[in-house]
Amino acid sequence: MAALRPLSCRLTFLTERRSEWQRLERRNIYKKKWASSRPRVPNTQLALHNMDMSYSLQFGERWPSIRLALLCQQKYAALLNGFGDVEAALREMERRQAGDFVYESRRERAGQGPDWTSRARPRLRPAQDGQTPASAGPAPPASGGDTAREPPSVLETNRSVPISPNLKCFTYPRGDITRFRPARPDSLRLLEYYLMDAASLLPVLVLDVQPGHTVLDLCAAPGGKSLALLQTECCRHLAVNDISTSRLSRLRKILHSYVPKNARTEDRLRITSFDGRHWGEVERNTFDRVLVDVPCTTDRHSVLEEDNNIFSRLRLRERQRLPLLQTQLLVSGILATKPGGSIVYSTCSLSQLQNEYVVERAVEVAETEHNMELRLVDLTAIRTLYSDTFNFHGCCRVGELVLPHLTANYGPMYFCKLHRIH
């Protein structure tokens, strides 16, 4: 019996070790399960990491301030609904001490005093000494005013920077983070104003829609720019298109809330859901003005919202194909424009790949494959005109770029204008 003890001890030892090995193996199995179920990096973090790598090279020392502004609360403006009770809305803006940046900037740059007849409280900023007066487009008459009262020099500078008329968009001064309350129905049962990023209005302004023009908004949803185009009251016919039927449904609701029925008739407004890349084949040489506000990485949304985030791993291929899609849409918009007409391309991205490079490539395709002659329109005067309201990059190869900044947290918004010669 004594001789068997060492053997029994060894058996006991092996049994214990076997139990330990089994426990170790089972633990490893659970480790694998834990690893597979571990939460992934949020889409917003993926977006921010991607932007840190690319935009830090593009903007250098300016990127930290841009990054901070993107992560902070966006600033909104109020686009006045010209179809509603305008007088009541103007009194409301005066009470809130908000100013119409569209018209006031033109008067101030022209060396004029504030427009007291507009009922909106002006932001008093005297013109700087030695500054060249600049204005933008035919100035809309103030409430109860007369454009004939303006001196000839102002009208002359207006022609040098043409912009779409009849638009009033109210903002608070730089550094003022006051927010507008949600719009309410007025006495005409239309909403008083539309809250939007003020920089989103710039592509509509530089499109320079004039009375009698036919206009195409190729990628219209969710509808802010389409609403602004209708507010100009210059569109003889406006074609509003977006490939997404769900987004078009939202656009229809916006138009129904802001535009009276007699301004939404079929002869004046057409809403379609069509692949914009082929529009130039269907209606070629048709429109006086074309707005191509393309799908993009929507930088501000991407760093703040998880839902529908294009930086999701599942949408990697879609994001990589964006520049090609944007180029195709812009070429289609160029084809749909009449000779002598204008095209404005815009995104809400900071990326050069989606901005300048897309414009340059589209112009090359239009000239080589379609034998069209295009001219890039210099928008330096627009940058000068609205430099008190927005922070412009000023170093774009073509076009203009509004950069987010804490003192005026609008954008990002890139826009570039092309004129078709033939």
- Return the number of other C-beta atoms located less than 10 Å from residue 396's C-beta: 18
**Which residue in the list 219, 234, 348, 396 is annotated as catalytic?**
348
Exposure string over 100-115, b if 16+ CB within 10 A, otherwise e: bbbbbbbbbbbbbebb
The kind and range of the H/E element at 224 are helix 224-231
Q: Quote the CA–CA distance of 25 and 22 in Å, as a whole number.
A: 5
- Under a CB-based contact definition with an 8 Å cutoff, are residues 109 and 135 in contact? yes
348 is catalytic: yes
Q: Which tokens go with 137?
A: 């487009």
Query: What does residue 363 show for φ and ψ, rounded to 5 degrees?
Result: -65, -40
Rg (CA), the chain: 28
Residue positions annotated with a catalytic role: 348
